[in-house]
Structure 1
Amino acid sequence: MAADVLQRDLGVTADGLAALTGAFPAAFALAMLPVGVALDRYGVKPTALALLAIAAVGSLFGAVATGPWSMLLAQVVLGIGCSGMLMCPVTYAAKNLPPQKFGLWGGVIQAFGNTGMLLSASPLALLVEASGWRAGYVACALLAVGAATAVFVLVREARAPVQARRSVAEDARDVIRLGLSRDIRGPVVIAFASFAAVLGVRGLWGGPWLMEVKHLARVPAGNILLMCTLALIAGPAIAGILERRFQAHRRALLVGGHLGAALMVALMVAGGSLGWPVMADAVLLVAFGLMISLQVICFALVRAAVPPERVGRALSAMNVSFFGGAAVLQAASGAAAAWGGVGAALLVFAAALVICSLAFLRLPGPR
């Protein structure tokens, strides 16, 4: 929503901005190792409070950034701080719910989390128009403080058991071993493209596509992305219900959702060349949001593969792929945009979804 003014004020190109914002998921992925260890060793509440404090600081760094290097620092600190935003509640649910209920509640958690993206559609467009992009970062800092306050007041958990015989380094190595293990290798592979597509299509390139290719003003483009965001809110809850009802077919659901999401992106890019009306983009973006939301089944597959005492590390291992893939593919999309425009950038994510889905089908893993 603010790509054009960010490029102007920071003095970067479109692919340069993609590289800068790609530092966020890269830092996020690297932070997954210590976050996974902390969740199992120290518990959800202290881990969440520490990370939210870091996120608030990163947001303030973004608000005062004056060039590429200061914005890079802000993105790295934000990535570290935000690395527990999904993992903390998902791990809390995994440790306190039986496996047969986890898929549903994993979807509910992600659906509730995705409501935050409502703010980055029309509301952010209006805020940027009225007060500039820096106000968006200040608002994020305030949201982080509010979330930390809610965690401090509301979250209750038993003290994490002391693990005296294992070092932090051993726990970190266990995260890596889990990510490479036969048990969760399949979900790790498909996760590489899964969240990258959400960040790339809805987060980075959706606004430029609607404003530069479809020639919409900022606020109307935000309204279209708002529709996609609503689908990303409803989609995980629906996916959780489907996962619980059709557990025997959840691998097929996961692959079908990702291939369908890839098709929606490809059709949107094709429609840009064919002159389709902007309402077609709205429909395709909504369909994309609903289909890609089946990614929550990845969490259920991982939860089913490991015992409760290792679930924080196992989920973190998969999240390394979730956000590491986002960093890699976001950088690749920036290069594609420099070569072939916004449409080429979007097709990077469609291609990755197809490749990772087909690879997932060939790998063993939890069912």
Structure 2
Amino acid sequence: YFLTFAAFQIPLGMLLDRYGPRRTESFLLLFAAAGAFIFALAPNTTMLIVGRGLIGFGVSACLMAAFKAFVLWFPAGRLPLVNGLQMAVGGLGALSATVPIETALAFTDWRGIFMALGTMTLVAAVILFTVVPDKKGEAEPSRMADQFGGVVQVMTSPLFWRIAPITFATQAAFLAIQSLWSGPWLRDVAGMGRDDVAFALMMIAAAMTVGFVLAGVVAERLGKRGIAPVAVAIVSMVGSMVMQLVLVLGLPIPPLVLWCLFALFGTNGILVYAGLSQTFPRHLAGRVITGMNLLVFVAGFSFQWGIGVIINQFAPVASGGYQPQAYTVAFGVVLVLEVLALLWMIFYRKGRLPLRV
């Protein structure tokens, strides 16, 4: 999923800028629907991998297409808020993957759930293509050489590479830890049972949703006072690192409170996308945000895998879980990488950070 999602980000940026978000996303969602159907009907591991890969490829445009559309439809000052609202809708999806899915499994199996998801995705693709209006300037036809030249312009920008490491490091850490390792941590370190873990994950997803909306509201309010979204994002990313430090040190804070705070801070790095969209020319918006997204998801996959490698260096406990010390070491290594990225942003002076509007 992560690999196909990330691999398509650069071509995706070119497609978004050339053909517009409506056409690009409605087409790609057909692959996501096909992937869900294949996953649901898969007779073996190979077909499960194929289905999962198609899902990642098909949904690779979902967030970036929305961000590109918002650049076209809304004034720059509103981008943090509308981006935050979009992310909150995604948070509702994460929320539905906790207790609601657990409840649905009482009536069907995972195959039935994926058949339903495939059907809903197909319907969404049709609605998106037939109902959403076009916006003047949505598609900007140009030669492929010019499209690729825009990619080079973005990827060689000193500003991009000053803010990129802290963004992809903190966002990848949040994606990897929250999506894959929060549940096992709650089980093995906090000692929660299955039902308590499901409830805690639902509350964490709810905190994510609140965090997305709150980030947009705060960034828009501060923008009126001359403070740019990137400045808000940097403060929030540091806050996310502080929450990880508390996890690593094992300080006596209630686990659910700690993880919800991690979710609140961890979501706000998405404001960098709005900040960069305001800084680069509008016709490059698709390539700017997908370039950053490529780095985030490659790092996210690497962090997920790397955490697993580190944890597996420790002998499993009798119950089949992992030792608390394993999480401490793995999360600590990730935190060190984030601190190095923060230091890079501070001392790399070639690109001026857009901290004021």
TM class, shorter-length: 0.7 to 0.9
Shift of 1:187: 3.2
- Contact residue 196 and residue 349 of structure 1 kept, 8 A: no
Aligned-partner SS, 1:183: helix
Partner residue, 2:71? 94
Structure 1 residue 366 and structure 2 residue 343: aligned?
no
Residues 278-289 of structure 1 aligned to structure 2 (within 5 Å)? 280-289=254-263
Aligned partner of 2:101 among 110, 119, 124: 124
Partner residue, 1:294? 268
Structure 1 residue 355 and structure 2 residue 355: aligned?
no
- One-letter amino acid of the structure 2 residue matched with residue 300 of structure 1: A
- One-letter amino acid of the structure 1 residue matched with residue 192 of structure 2: L
- One-letter amino acid of the structure 1 residue matched with residue 84 of structure 2: G
Partner residue, 2:240? 261
Unaligned runs of 5+ in 1: 1-23
Deviates more, 1:336-345 or 1:227-236: 336-345
Over the residues paired in the alignment, what is the CA RMSD in angstroms?
A: 2.5
Shift of 1:161: 4.5
Shift of 1:254: 2.0
1:302–1:292: structure 2 CA closer, same or farther, 3 Å change rule? same
Residues 1-367 of structure 1 aligned to structure 2 (within 5 Å)? 24-65=1-42, 67-128=44-105, 131-158=108-135, 160-161=138-139, 163-164=141-142, 166-167=143-144, 170-247=146-223, 248=227, 250-271=229-250, 280-340=254-314, 341=322, 343=327, 344-363=329-348, 364=351, 365-367=353-355
Give TM-score scaled by structure 1 length: 0.83
The structure in which a higher percent of residues are helix is: 1
- One-letter amino acid of the structure 2 residue matched with residue 257 of structure 1: S
- One-letter amino acid of the structure 1 residue matched with residue 190 of structure 2: K
CA distance in 1 between counterparts of 2:46 and 2:188 reads 26
Aligned-partner SS, 1:86: helix
Give TM-score scaled by structure 2 length: 0.85
Deviates more, 1:286-295 or 1:335-344: 335-344
Aligned-partner SS, 1:156: coil
Deviates more, 1:196-205 or 1:115-124: 196-205
Deviates more, 1:327-336 or 1:34-43: 327-336
- One-letter amino acid of the structure 2 residue matched with residue 260 of structure 1: G
- Contact residue 184 and residue 301 of structure 1 kept, 8 A: no
Deviations 1:268-327, CA, capped at 9 Å, x for gaps: 3543xx8x6xx8111011101111122122012211221111111111111111212112
Q: Count the aligned residue pairs.
A: 337
1:58–1:121: structure 2 CA closer, same or farther, 3 Å change rule? same
User: Matched residues, percent identical?
Assistant: 26
